[in-house]
Amino acid sequence: MSKRYLITSALPYANGALHLGHLAGAYLPADIYVRYLRLLGKDVVWVCGSDEHGAAITIRAKKEGVTPQEIIDKYHELNKSTFDRLGISFDYYHRTSALLHHETSQEFFLKLYHKGGEFEEREVEQYYDEDFDQFLADRYIVGTCPKCGHEEAYGDQCENCGSDLSPIELANPRSTLSGKTPVLKKTKHWYFKLEKHEPWLRKWIEEGMLEGAPHHDPRAWKRHVVGQCLSWLDGGLQPRAITRDLPWGIPVPLPEAKGKVLYVWFDAPIGYISSTRQWGKEHGKDWELYWKDKDTTLIHFIGKDNIVFHCIVFPAMLKAHGEYNLPVNVPANQFLNFEGRKFSKSRGWGIEQHEYLEEFRDFPNKEDALRYALIRNMPENKDTDFKWDEFIDFHDKELADNLGNFVNRVVVLSNNYFGGQAPQSGISLKDALAEVRALAQALRTEIDSFNFRQAVLTLMEISSWGNTYLQDVSPWKLHKENPDDPAIRDCMYVSLQIVALLSLLCEPFIPFTAPKVRRLLGLPPIERGVLQEAFDKLEAGEPLLPVGHPIGKAELLFAKIVDRKDDSRLQIVNRQREKLQQVMAAEQPAAAAAPAKAEIQYDDFARLDLRTGVIIAAEKVPKADKLLKLTVGLGPEQRTIVSGIAQHFDPETLPGQPVVVVANLAPRKLRGIESQGMILTAENEKGELQFVSAPKGWGNGLEVK
């Protein structure tokens, strides 16, 4: 058993709010795990924080006419307080703009730099803005995409066609700072030689071996995590740039690196370290024990988009540094979808965490209702779907009908029969609670192996066991026969023990409800280590709630959503469903006016030679999913045109299809076939294509103007 634990959750990027998928992916599971460890009295620290560097933040600031600092302050505060309100119980929520983080990152960089062999320097040509006197990050350059002609393509990527670009490829490059044409200048950057770490990384991930000794059980890692890592390793690792020419970020601590900062991906994971340092500073603890001591277990909670980073890149950095522990597990979750689609802020699909809290402000137990629904559907091994229907079912049928109702029955019966005291009983708890103990034990194992969905079901099994038990004994029947029947006292005594156990076991999952159950039972608030004590008592056959212990008055834990006497809660949920209806309704009229391209002159248009044509033959291009090789008749002439429409049309149906062709487009080879033109199509909002053409039989090779 490990002496102490260090848990991390992915640092949220401080330029936006987080939605329910984020919560279910990296924060809620970690919260369950950490709360559970605390209940067991383990020495555990859970760190997180805002990731506040990177070009995206400066660009956003520029667009909104504010400083980057204002952006990160806004979202740091928003995310931090939202987490807090949802009961996400970080030990420390730091931020990477903090001085301590800058120092930590620079120290880390220098350690690798002075060690030698980890970095390489490369001279590259990069665009430079002479007005602003600085090199331009890829994102600071826009220009015409060489692939699709989109005029607002970024230096690293064209958002129109999705191509990955290098700034050098752009036609008409412009600086987003000055708007002027940048000049190419030489600049130097440092690269982390990731590839040299490949051999040990493979052994570490595949076999769990590190430096010849067992480090972790590779079978305990999720399959998709190992799979993706090995896939990456098979693809061969490349050196990764770790510096940028940017004014926003952590300065590279070398005299020759003026104006350069650490690339955000390098400094962000070090944020875990600096967050721990800051925590140690404020709590008088030695942070290094948590990162460097062999008896510390390090676990990263992340979403699947971060797998490679946390399983390959960051471990390589830590190993290169030499003093740090490597993660024992990286239980990455897959993605949560929302009512059948991906979360999409721009399309209004989904709900953000702070929005939920706002919309559900009048919903009792809103935090636990949400947490429970997310846990039950947590994307542990594959993408899952959040649905309001299920939200209602989980809440009403499991939290209210099963758990809440059981607690209520026990409290009410205790009050009715014994005046609100735990009754006298000589029953052997060891025997009576044998099955409950086994379930509790199973729950432990499930949390230990990061199976939170199963764990919460096991929790429900315990209260379900209690319901069945009550039904079997039926103390209300016995009471009619003989109110002094000792079986009644035994039954209620045992039931009270189960509720007491539930008050602890449920805390990691529904921490807002647990204290209420404690109060109902007249038990003290939950403290670190109480679950371990409870387990010990159970093993010894001792009560968690002794004879004569005063019980509080009954109170409902969960007010059902579907309730014939009060539909206020249902209305709150229904408003969310209506919102989705509206979003879908708004999509129908395809309203979106085409995003206007820049104005052109008639001459620009006249340079196009557009012709009518007809498809004579069509076949799939081998080894390409999207490409069709078309033979198109343009009057007397025949052309070969390769077009990316294979996913929209069956080649067999195409011969005879009239089309319009850009006839004077420069030829280009695609998958080894020369394409001599381009077919025009129109795409609707669903992404479906239709050909643009004159009516069938109108004629081929005719000019279109």
Instruction: Considering the complex, state which of residue 162 and residue 635 has its C-beta at the smaller distance from RNA.
Output: 162
Please say whether the beta carbons of 109 and 253 come within 8 A. Answer: yes
Torsion sign, CA atoms 515, 521, 522, 526: negative
CA-to-CA distance for 53 and 247, rounded, in angstroms? 10
CB of residue 96 to RNA, shortest distance in Å = 25
Distance of CA 5 to the CA centre of its chain: 22
456/401 Cα distance (integer angstroms): 15
CB of 251 to RNA, least distance (A): 30
Minimum CB–partner distance for residue 319 and RNA (Å) = 23
Residue with Cβ nearer RNA (381 or 424)? 381
Query: Are 545 and 498 a contacting pair, CB within 8 Å?
Result: no
CB of 104 to RNA, least distance (A): 30
Sheet holding 183-192, edge to edge: 134-135, 119-129, 183-192, 240-241
Smallest gap, in angstroms, from Cβ of residue 172 to RNA? 15
Q: What are the helix and strand counts (H, E) for the chain?
A: 24, 27
Query: Which residues contact residue 65 at a Cβ distance below 8 angstroms, ignoring those fewer than 6 apart?
Result: none
Of the two residues 464 and 576, which places its CB atom closer to RNA in the complex?
464
Please say which residue, 40 or 226, places its beta carbon nearer to RNA: 226
Distance CA 316, CA 194 (A): 7
Query: Which CB atom, from 278 or from 425, has the smaller least distance to RNA?
Result: 425
The three-class DSSP label of residue 130 is: coil
CA pair distance 103, 106, nearest whole angstrom: 5
**CB nearer RNA, residue 234 or residue 604:** 234
Nearest to 320 by CA among 198, 207, 235: 198
String of DSSP letters for 157-209: B-TTT--B--GGG-EEEEETTTSSPPEEEEEEEEEE-GGGGHHHHHHHHHH-E
Closest to RNA by CB, 231 vs 582, is 231
Read off the DSSP letter of residue 23. Answer: I
Nearer to RNA, 222 or 260 (CB): 222
With respect to RNA, which residue has the nearer C-beta, 183 or 412?
412
Smaller CB separation from RNA, 218 or 541: 218
Strand ranges in 306-389 using DSSP code E only, listed in sequence order: 336-338, 384-386
- 3-class SS at 565? coil
Nearest distance, CB of residue 639 and RNA, angstroms: 9
CB of 539 to RNA, least distance (A): 24
* DSSP assignments along 523-540, one per residue: PPPP-TTHHHHHHHHHHH
CB of 392 to RNA, least distance (A): 10
* Closest CB to RNA among residues 500, 645: 645
Phi first, then psi, for residue 46 (nearest 5°) are -120, 120
Instruction: Give min distance, CB of 577 to RNA, in A.
Output: 17
Q: Which is nearer to RNA, 472 or 652 (CB)?
A: 472
Please say whether the beta carbons of 185 and 125 come within 8 A: yes
Inter-helix orientation angle 223-234/198-207, to 10°: 160
Query: Cβ closer to RNA: 9 or 306?
Result: 306
* Interstrand relation of 681-683 and 689-691 (parallel, antiparallel or unpaired): antiparallel
Please say which residue, 81 or 231, places its beta carbon nearer to RNA.
Answer: 231
- Least distance from RNA to the Cβ atom of residue 266, Å: 20
Closest CB 112 distance from RNA, rounded Å: 27
CB of 626 to RNA, least distance (A): 4
Closest C-alpha among 197, 216, 202 to residue 322: 197
Which residues fall within 8 angstroms of residue 305, CB to CB, at 6 or more apart?
none
- In the block, tokens 């600049």 appear at 187
Q: What sign has the CA pseudo-torsion 280, 18, 75, 366?
A: negative
The distance of closest approach from Cβ of residue 433 to RNA in the complex, given in angstroms and rounded to an integer, is: 17
Q: Smallest distance, Å, CB 437 to RNA?
A: 19
Rounded to whole angstroms, the Cα distance separating 332 from 148 reads 36
For 537, the 3-state DSSP assignment is: helix
**CA nearest 248: which of 22, 112, 97?**
97
